[in-house]
Amino acid sequence: MLKCVLVFLLTGNVERFGHLKVRPNFVHMAVGSGFAAVIILSHFQLVQILDISALVAIIFFNLLFVFLLFPLEGTLLRKLALLFAGNIVGLLWYLIQLSLKEASMFFLSTDAFTIITIVAKPLIDFVWIVSIWSLSLSVLASAKRKTEGLERS
């Protein structure tokens, strides 16, 4: 529906969105959105521990995942499992960073690790977001190929 509205707004051509070849899986998107919302809200419970920027990065990841991967072909269960696993990896990523930061403060009495993580933040965050997203896309694409192969045989 969003795509239809977007195409209409951008092209002004009502006829176009009646001929879409591939329709996004809106049901999966709706379920994925709900699931992502639950995960994000549970992350908010950890706001005392996690940085605000970590929470925002996790929200970004969920948005990209739900709106770009959930509409694709594939079973709902697989998509939910990948989304859940991605969020767990993200959470662990930030918890490990936090642990290293606290450990360096305690044992080395220095803020060096904090400064390094702040300066290199874009690269550090990018590593897990893109890796998990790419891996998930790869899993969905491989499953799609296997299904197509089985259908042909």
Partner 1 sequence: MIFTVLVALIVAYIIRHYLFTLAALYHKKEQLPYSAHETEYEPTVSVLIPARNEEHVIERILQRMTELTYPKEKIEVIVIDDASTDRTGKRAKKFAEEHKFISVVHRGIEDGGKGKPDVLNCGLKHVSGEIVYCFDADYYPQRDILEKLTACFRDPKVGAVQGRVTVLNEPNTLVTRLVALERTGGYRVDQFARDELELICQFGGTVGGFRKSLLEKLGGWDPNMLTEDTDLTFKVYLAGFKIKYVNHADCYEEAVEDWRSYWHQRSRWAKGHMQCAFRHLWPVIRSKNLRLKEKIDGFLLLNVYFVPIFAGLAWILGAALFLLQPLSWTKILWAAMPISFYSSVGNFAPFFEVGIGAYLDGRNRTYWLLPLLFLTFMFNMLICTKALIDLCISKITGKKRHAWSKTVHNGNGNHYIE
Closer to partner 1 by Cβ: residue 22 or 77: 22
> How wide is the angle at C-alpha 40 spanned by C-alphas 37 and 46, nearest 5°?
150
Closer to partner 1 by Cβ: residue 99 or 142: 142
Closer to partner 1 by Cβ: residue 76 or 116: 116
Q: How far is the CB of 131 from partner 1 (least distance, A)?
A: 5
Rounded distance between C-alpha atoms, residue 133 and residue 136, angstroms: 5
Q: How far is the CB of 58 from partner 1 (least distance, A)?
A: 9
Closer to partner 1 by Cβ: residue 41 or 52: 52
Q: How far is the CB of 109 from partner 1 (least distance, A)?
A: 18
Q: How far is the CB of 76 from partner 1 (least distance, A)?
A: 18
The residues of the shown chain that bind partner 1, judged by CB under 8 A, are 2-3, 6-7, 10-11, 16, 19-24, 51-57, 60, 64, 67-68, 71-72, 115, 118-119, 121-127, 129-131, 133-135, 137-138, 141-142, 145
| Token reading at 150 | 């089985």
Closest-CA residue to 124 (of 84, 96, 86)? 96
Q: How far is the CB of 12 from partner 1 (least distance, A)?
A: 9
Query: Amino acid identity, residue 1?
Result: M
Rounded distance between C-alpha atoms, residue 44 and residue 30, angstroms: 21
- Longest distance between any two alpha carbons in the chain, whole Å: 66
Closer to partner 1 by Cβ: residue 78 or 145: 145
Contact 58, 43 (CB under 8 A): yes
> How wide is the angle at C-alpha 88 spanned by C-alphas 65 and 50, nearest 5°?
100
